[in-house]
């Protein structure tokens, strides 16, 4: 797994204007930690082909080198998503946010403040904690180990990559855990309708992440769909059509 060899433009912000009756429905799709927009592009393209306006942001510290992810403060990730969200809110009648893994945690962070403005959120294997690793411990580890082994490309389909980093930046992990700690305490403020996809066979995050989110959010409408033939990066895996089609139905029902 590496960013080298990615097709031109795949690791950058991506926007596609919608068309027809769905043009004024905007959808923001947020990738995961050490990942890239490549993990969300097929989903975004599927939705855009059905007329929806879509944006796939490149999160700060991503798409370059792992070292850059050690230089980012956690507030920069939701700030980037919030900026793109504001653009969609100005031009669209309804707006949804979709997030994968850490992108799911970032989506939840945004939804603690924007639930009244959002038509719904869609999460795929969302990240809200790392069991037995508080952010204080991550900080201590980062003092003597700047890079750790990569956790990316947890994909069952052979030969598929999300073009992410081949190392895990330790300071970036510390910042990520701070964001998740802050967000978890405020999950009750998430009241937008929620659809959550969970891979039964996920080698990156334990099921406790999904359980915490499902129990903690204040959403009156929340649904969980299990994915039985995908690993963590399910948006690129065998169950991607399950995600794409059910997300389309969710978006239709709330827009």
131-165: burial string, b at 16+ Cβ within 10 Å, e else: eeeebeebbeebeeebbeebbbbbbbeeeebbbbb
Which structure tokens are listed for 34? 């050490």
Which structure tokens are listed for 150? 């990569």
Are 227 and 197 a contacting pair, CB within 8 Å? yes
Residues 6+ apart with CB under 8 A from 245: none
Active site residue 188: no
DSSP 132-190: T--HHHHHHHHTT-SEEE------SSTT------SEEEHHHHHHHHHHHHHHHTTGGG-
Active site residue 101: yes
Q: Per the residue annotation, which of 101, 115, 142, 230 is the catalytic one?
A: 101
Q: Per the residue annotation, which of 84, 154, 202, 237 is the catalytic one?
A: 202
Active site residue 202: yes
Q: Per the residue annotation, which of 142, 154, 232, 247 is the catalytic one?
A: 232
List active site positions: 101, 202, 232
């Amino acid at each position: 797994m590496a960013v080298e060899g990615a097709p031109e433009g795949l690791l950058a912000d991506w926007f596609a204007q919608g068309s027809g009756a769905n043009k004024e429905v905007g959808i923001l799709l947020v990738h995961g930690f050490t990942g890239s927009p490549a993990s969300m592009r097929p989903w975004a393209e599927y939705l855009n082909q059905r007329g929806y306006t879509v944006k796939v942001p490149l999160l700060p510290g991503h798409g370059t080198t792992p070292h850059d992810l050690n230089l980012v403060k956690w507030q920069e990730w939701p700030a980037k998503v919030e900026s793109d969200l504001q653009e969609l809110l100005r031009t669209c009648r309804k707006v949804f946010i979709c997030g994968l893994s850490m992108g799911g945690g970032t989506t939840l962070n945004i939804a603690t403040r924007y639930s009244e403005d959002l038509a719904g959120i869609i999460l795929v294997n969302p990240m809200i904690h790392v069991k037995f690793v508080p952010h204080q411990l991550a900080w201590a580890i980062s003092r003597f180990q700047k890079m750790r082994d990569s956790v990316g490309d947890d994909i069952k389909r052979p030969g598929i990559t999300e073009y992410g980093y081949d190392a895990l930046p330790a300071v970036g992990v510390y910042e990520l855990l701070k964001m998740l700690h802050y967000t978890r305490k405020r999950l009750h403020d998430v009241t937008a309708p929620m659809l959550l996809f969970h891979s039964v066979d996920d080698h990156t995050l334990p099921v406790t992440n999904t359980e915490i989110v499902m129990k903690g959010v204040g959403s009156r409408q929340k649904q969980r769909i299990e994915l039985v033939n995908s690993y963590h990066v399910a948006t690129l895996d065998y169950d991607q059509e399950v995600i794409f089609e059910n997300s389309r139905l969710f978006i239709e029902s709330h827009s």
